[in-house]
Amino acid sequence: MKTLIIYKSYQGNTEKYAKAIAENVHADVMKLSRKALRATKKYDTIIFGGWVRGGVIQGLDNFLAIYDSLEGKNIIVYSVGMSFPTKSGRADLISRNLLDLYHVRFYQFRGSFDYHKLKFPQNIMMRKSIELMLKDPSLAPESDPQALSSLLDRPLEYYDQEKVDRVVSVLHVLEREESQKETNKQ
């Protein structure tokens, strides 16, 4: 089975996860680009990973634009955001990003966040959204105000090894299924 991982990353976490998955399944890894989207033709399994900005999985719309050309392939999508993955957070991401309209497996990863490494205009946008959430907690019902305000002072470091392992084991199952299909054809 040939696997391609396409990612869109801003601070490097989504790229790190793409590379960690690839190491365990011998997949090729490419940054999101027209060339990467064209390359999907040559693979059986495509993984798309995008970082989350304001609830939107970045680059996902570009990836889903070629969805029809991926018929018959296994498709996995993962998002990387700073919020702790919860059932309702997952449901929000799915509906906000219209993922329920597509036949894809979806995984929500948690990444790191360092306010002081953000450049203009992301730093201003981020400060404004944190201030808004602190003023009106109904905007971020699952966030702890103390944790939210600390995001402006110190970096949040997170790496979800368990989720990487889960995606890798799903890929191993798909690999076995694909090789069974090949054997049945012969």
Ligand X SMILES: Cc1cc2nc3c(=O)[nH]c(=O)nc-3n(C[C@H](O)[C@H](O)[C@H](O)COP(=O)(O)O)c2cc1C
- Residues of this chain that interact with ligand X (CB under 6 A) are 9-14, 51-55, 80-83, 111-113, 118, 122, 125-126
Question: Of the two residues 3 and 89, which places its CB atom closer to ligand X in the complex?
Answer: 89
Provide, rounded to whole angstroms, the least separation between the CB of residue 81 and ligand X: 2
Provide, rounded to whole angstroms, the least separation between the CB of residue 112 and ligand X: 5
Provide, rounded to whole angstroms, the least separation between the CB of residue 176 and ligand X: 30
d(CA 170, CA 165): 9
Question: Of the two residues 1 and 80, which places its CB atom closer to ligand X in the complex?
Answer: 80
> Is 47:21 a contact under the CB 8 Å cutoff?
yes
User: In angstroms, what CA-CA distances link 75 with 10, 80, 98, 158, 170?
Assistant: 22, 17, 15, 25, 11
Question: Of the two residues 25 and 80, which places its CB atom closer to ligand X in the complex?
Answer: 80
Short-list 35, 26, 64, 72, CA closest to 48: 64
Question: Of the two residues 55 and 73, which places its CB atom closer to ligand X in the complex?
Answer: 55
User: In angstroms, what CA-CA distances link 145 with 31, 66, 137?
Assistant: 35, 40, 8
> Is 64:94 a contact under the CB 8 Å cutoff?
no
Provide, rounded to whole angstroms, the least separation between the CB of residue 41 and ligand X: 26
Provide, rounded to whole angstroms, the least separation between the CB of residue 87 and ligand X: 15
d(CA 124, CA 118): 9
Tell how far CA 182 is from the center of its chain: 30
Question: Of the two residues 92 and 175, which places its CB atom closer to ligand X in the complex?
Answer: 92
